[in-house]
Amino acid sequence: MERIERHACAGGVQEVWRHRSGVLGCDMRFAVYLPPQAALGECPVLYWLSGLTCTEQNFITKAGAQRHAAEHGLILVAPDTSPRGEGVADDAGYDLGQGAGFYVNATQAPWAAHYRMYDYVVDELPALVDAHFPTTTARGISGHSMGGHGALVVALRNPGRYRSVSAFSPIVAPALVPWGQKAFMAYLGEDAAAWAEWDATRLVAGAKERLPLLVDQGEADEFLDGQLQPSRLQAACEAAGHPLELRLQPGYDHSYYFIASFIGDHVAHHASALKE
């Protein structure tokens, strides 16, 4: 690994690292915030998955999460949103290809050669983080929009791996909305049955663990009705008896202004579970 950024922040250190990913077959970057407590011993880890068009930079420069992580003694890890580089398949649209990995394992050409963001987030990245930083075995996961979809799916598919999960403005039913349908058709093919493995509203019904879900959604979000549809997750959780706290926030949109306003609540939610 090569460290390419290092900044003092909120009493700790914000770093960005580059490494060669065997899972994705390309160079990847991820951000890691080490709170002041990490200089004294091991700390729990909160993973953050960003949304469409984002890199690891959006969260670390706009969310203001570091001061909350420093307060609670959490390491923050934010990967990029997709594989990148020469030879990695791409698309002219912002919602497919580089910057839009959707946290799935692609099965279709040309995407299958590199687009295995699920395996990267669940296996390769945590192994790398645990090997190089002072982490405990306690992990939480969160994210925004496409990354909110990723956080919910990753947690629901891996009972026992994460102690906490939350999301901002998640794409809760990607199999039923344009963003998800476009990505799933390209990455996973035409078999809609295969899409169910990557749809939080489908996964809730068969979840083997009742990990409480915390979701914040802005009521002024321009994508609320067309792409996000949190009521679908609410209905799925009610039918399955799965704990969900869905908070609809009046006046807030889809931006990092929204995330920065409530990220402290989410970090505290994760800290409570990660320190048990």
Catalytic-role residue among 221, 242, 261, 266 = 221
Largest CA distance in the chain: 51
- Residue 145 annotated as catalytic: yes
Enter the tokens of residue 159.
């009972």
| E strand segments, 101-151 | 135-143
d(CA 144, CA 255): 9
d(CA 258, CA 253): 6
The torsion defined by the Cα of 115, 116, 117 and 121, in degrees rounded to 10, comes to: -160
Q: Is 250 exposed, middle or buried (0-12, 13-18, 19+ CB in 10 A)?
A: exposed
Question: CA separation (Å) from 200 to 79, 127, 175?
Answer: 21, 25, 10
CB contact at 8 A, 6 and 14: yes
The HSE-up count of residue 107 (CA atoms within 13 Å, CB side) is 10
Question: CA separation (Å) from 42 to 46, 75, 97, 130, 149?
Answer: 13, 9, 36, 10, 29
- Residue 7 annotated as catalytic: no
- Residue 221 annotated as catalytic: yes
Catalytic-role residue among 145, 164, 169, 261 = 145
Q: Cβ of 29: how many Cβ atoms within 10 Å?
A: 18
CB contact at 8 A, 35 and 17: no
Catalytic-role residue among 114, 242, 254, 266 = 254
d(CA 193, CA 202): 11
Which residues have a catalytic role annotated?
145, 221, 254
